[in-house]
Amino acid sequence: EIQNSNYVGFDLSTILKFSIQILFGLLILKNKKIIHCDLKPENILLIKKGKTGIKIIDFGSSCYTDQSQYEYIQSRYYRAPEILLGLNYGCEIDMWSLGCILCELYCGIPIFPGENEYDMIYYIMEYIGLPPKDLIEKSPKKLDFFNEDGKPLEKKNSLEKIK
């Protein structure tokens, strides 16, 4: 729908209607101990064109909260920090994705448009700041993103811009 409006975001009343329905859907999933694992705009469909009723689709990556956890989940722009850092996760990752989606619905563009995982962590740190030190220390991927002192590494992206 955003693509059809030349990447102009929705008004706040429409976003509120969408978010209430998505939150209700996520509450049902949490009560069933299910993590969607790939919440993104393409997986939220309008039931009827021109109306605000929605449904959440594509549970192909979903898992139960007590299952062994997948390492590579969530579409890139909506990937939670714990996934990027290789940490354990729960239903909270779907809430992270929802926050990213709501920003995108308002702005018309993704909030964290990283081209790879380092880019994603960089964008998140740029907006929110460094992850807590204990999370960095627990991360099996910490040396992919941080030096031994916990400071972010500087890397070039495909445009040779250092981040």
Question: Could you identify the residue written with the tokens 């062994």?
Answer: 68
pLDDT confidence tier of residue 22, bands split at 50, 70 and 90:
very high
How many Cα neighbours within 13 Å face the side chain of 12? 0
Helix residue ranges, H only, the chain: 12-31, 81-84, 92-107, 117-128, 133-138, 142-145
**92's tokens:** 């909270």
pLDDT (tens digit per residue) in 48-78: 988 999 999 999 999 999 987 788 899 999 9
What is the pLDDT at residue 4?
A: 55
Q: Tell me the average pLDDT across 87-102.
A: 97
Instruction: Please answer whether residues 141 and 116 qualify as being in contact, where contact means their C-beta atoms are separated by less than 8 angstroms.
Output: no
Long-range CB contacts (within 8 A, 24+) of 31-36: 33/64, 33/65, 33/66, 34/59, 34/62, 34/63, 34/64, 34/65, 34/91, 35/62, 35/63, 35/64, 35/65, 35/89, 35/90, 35/91, 35/93, 35/94, 36/61, 36/62, 36/94, 36/97
**39's tokens:** 């919440």
DSSP 20-40: HHHHHHHHHHHHTTEE-S---
| Separation of alpha carbons 71 and 140, rounded Å | 11
Catalogue the active-site residues: 38
pLDDT (tens digit per residue) in 115-137: 899 999 999 999 999 999 999 99
**Is it the case that residue 149 has pLDDT exceeding 70?**
yes
